[in-house]
Amino acid sequence: MYQWQIRLRRICNRDIIWYKVQIMAAEKAKKFQQEGNQREVGAFAKNYGAHREGITMKEVANYYTEWANSNKYDVDLGPDRYRGPKLAAETLCDLISEHRESVRILDIASGTGFLGQELWDRGFRSIDGLDPSEGMIEASRKRNVYSNLICDFMTEKMLNIQTDTYDAAAIAGGMGEGHIPCNALYEMIRIVKPGGYIVIVMREEYLEHVQDYKDRLEPLMKELETSGKWRKLARKVVSNYFLQNNGVIFIFQNC
């Protein structure tokens, strides 16, 4: 097969997948409208905008800054609609039952601090937050639960964080179109100590609908396990992660 045919096939496959995503989103929004739940329609649409096809990482950061500055983010993605932070905190609590006050955790894609707050409420006291959105960083600062706040992108590039700094790192909702790329797994492993934990909580459908993840994210997770970088402790699918969408929780331990 010629190279142009391969590229054309990839473009067609991408367009088909995105068309299916748009149909699904429209069907879900229509269902909320039929139920007379306009607030759910608004929250779903706002979140959908942050994950639209082709959105760049810089656009994602700017979008979240505007969302944070509108003072609507905490309402749109509050715990009655979005369970990611609670699920991530509960997972870390299951893994770490003692001396939580001295355990150092990095909250990746920390947003306005939902996960940081959940961790603080459960006895963790050494929590850092990382987020590329200046607006989100400023909003989370008001919670007074983070020791350090870092405004940067989580990618494959090396962060200004020393190797083996954290006992655990967690992501709640930071995976998606234009969000954290597959290759960022290497950097997560670098900054977490051997024996430490990495918890990733995300929307299950993104494993198929986000091109960077489809047939790549889980194979890379497996490759890192095979090469002895980490070992998978669990993969759990949970219902009603965000509104009526399933979520998936990945739990890894560094080697």
Sequence spans of domains, the chain: 1-255
pTM, whole model, 2 decimals?
Answer: 0.86
* Upper half-sphere CA count for residue 206 (Cβ side, 13 Å): 28
Q: How confident is the model at residue 34 (pLDDT cuts 50, 70, 90)?
A: very low
Residue 131 clears pLDDT 80, i.e. is over it: yes
Q: How confident is the model at residue 14 (pLDDT cuts 50, 70, 90)?
A: very low
- Which is higher by pLDDT, 147 or 6? 147
Average pLDDT over the chain reads 88
Rg (CA), the chain: 18
User: Which residues 6+ apart lie within 8 Å of 123 measured at CB?
Assistant: 100, 101
d(CA 162, CA 150): 13
For the chain, the DSSP string reads --HHHHHHHHHHHHHHHHHHHHHHHHHHHHHHHHTT-HHHHHHHHHHHHTT-TT--HHHHHHHHHHHHHTT-HHHHT-TTTB-HHHHHHHHHHHH--S-GGG-EEEEET-TTSHHHHHHHHTT--EEEEEES-HHHHHHHHTT---SEEEE---SSSPPSS-TT-EEEEEEES--STTSS-TTHHHHHHHHEEEEEEEEEEEETTHHHHSTTTTTTHHHHHHHHHHTTSEEEEEEEEEEEEETTEEEEEEEEEE-
Nearest to 185 by CA among 220, 151, 212, 215: 220
Residue 249 clears pLDDT 50, i.e. is over it: yes
- Per-residue pLDDT of 62-118, as tens digits, reads 999 999 999 999 998 888 889 999 999 999 999 999 999 999 999 999 999 999 999
d(CA 114, CA 101): 18
Q: Do the beta carbons of residue 208 and residue 17 sit within 8 Å? A: yes
Residue 160 clears pLDDT 80, i.e. is over it: yes
d(CA 121, CA 148): 17
**For the domain 1-255, what is the CATH code?**
3.40.50.150
Nearest to 130 by CA among 86, 179, 95: 179
- Compute how many other C-beta atoms are within 10 angstroms of the C-beta atom of residue 22: 13
The pLDDT of residue 112: 97
The pLDDT of residue 94: 98
d(CA 237, CA 239): 7
Residue 35 clears pLDDT 90, i.e. is over it: no
- Per-residue pLDDT of 210-242, as tens digits, reads 999 999 999 999 999 999 999 999 999 999 999
The pLDDT of residue 38: 61
The pLDDT of residue 39: 64
The pLDDT of residue 162: 98
Phi, psi dihedrals of residue 125, rounded to the nearest 5°: -130, -5
The 8 Å CB, 24+ separation contacts for 34-40 are 40/81, 40/243
- Per-residue pLDDT of 99-114, as tens digits, reads 999 999 999 999 999 9
The pLDDT of residue 20: 46
Residue 19 clears pLDDT 50, i.e. is over it: no
